[in-house]
Amino acid sequence: MFKNRTVEPYTAKVTGGLLEKWEGTVRVWDSPNSAIEGAVVLDKITEPTQVEVFEEQMDMYGSIPQRAHIRYGDKEGWVIYDMIEQPTAKK
């Protein structure tokens, strides 16, 4: 199991360019697992959206985030970390 870490909440974005890269859809999952492990898609982001990241799931070595736990509007869930644009400098 990969470790999750709570982070100081920061703002990130799902940009038009990222949506284009991911064929117009960023899927938001109920857990940081794969579909094979039983994760379910809760929502699909199809428009540029600002999100708040408050938790990250790290890779197997614990050095690079691979999933982000986000909030946007009245929703929250997990996305693949590369599907969001992080700020250039976290505060």
Beta bridge partners of 47: none
Per-residue pLDDT of the chain (91 residues; tens, 9 = 90+): 689 999 999 999 999 999 999 999 999 999 999 899 999 999 999 999 999 999 999 998 888 999 999 999 999 999 999 999 988 755 4
- Which conformational region is residue 25 in: left (phi greater than 0), alpha (psi within -120 to 50 degrees), or beta? beta
- CA angle (82 as vertex; 81, 87 as ends), nearest 5: 80
Phi and psi angles of residue 18, each rounded to the nearest 5 degrees, phi first: -70, -40
- What are the boundaries of each domain within the chain? 4-83
Q: Which is nearest to 66 in space by CA: 91, 83, 45? A: 83
pTM over 0.95: no
CATH topology classification for 4-83: SH3 type barrels. (2.30.30)
Q: Tokens in use for 90?
A: 């976290």
pLDDT value at position 91? Answer: 46
CB 48 within 8 A of CB 2: no
